[in-house]
């Protein structure tokens, strides 16, 4: 079994909470961590932007990755949301078993 962590930036804590609760309630992710107050600098439509955002870290099984991306895309307010993930290579095995128990029921 493979596992993933998703990194998602959102416009604010309210949006992050809505996405997190939806994905956990729908059992697409086992856990969501919200990190408010991130400062982001990026270029958008030729302009340099400075914004405060909230980061979401989401833990799930690799088999759910496409569904997670699709659902976040539906719920997210950004035209081009940052939705990236990486494979969990090392982890507490009990934690991974817990993820198994929470996904897809």
35-74: per-residue pLDDT in tens? Answer: 999 999 999 999 999 999 999 999 999 999 999 999 999 9
Domains of the chain with CATH codes: 3-102 (3.30.70.120)
Strand partners, 38: 53
pLDDT in tens, 69-95: 999 999 999 999 999 999 999 999 999
**Statement: residue 1 has pLDDT above 80:** no
Mean pLDDT of the chain: 96
Number of C-beta neighbours around residue 9 at 10 A: 21
**Statement: residue 105 has pLDDT above 70:** no
């Amino acid at each position: 079994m493979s596992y993933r962590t998703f990194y998602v930036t959102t416009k604010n804590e309210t949006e992050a909470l809505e996405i997190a609760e939806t994905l956990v309630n729908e059992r697409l992710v086992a856990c969501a961590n919200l990190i408010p107050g991130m400062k982001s600098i990026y270029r958008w439509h030729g302009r340099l932007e400075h914004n405060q955002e909230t980061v979401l870290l989401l833990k799930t099984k690799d088999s759910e990755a496409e569904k997670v991306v699709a659902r976040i895309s539906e719920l997210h307010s950004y035209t081009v949301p940052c939705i990236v993930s990486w494979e969990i290579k090392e982890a507490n095995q009990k934690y991974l078993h817990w993820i198994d128990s929470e996904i897809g029921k």
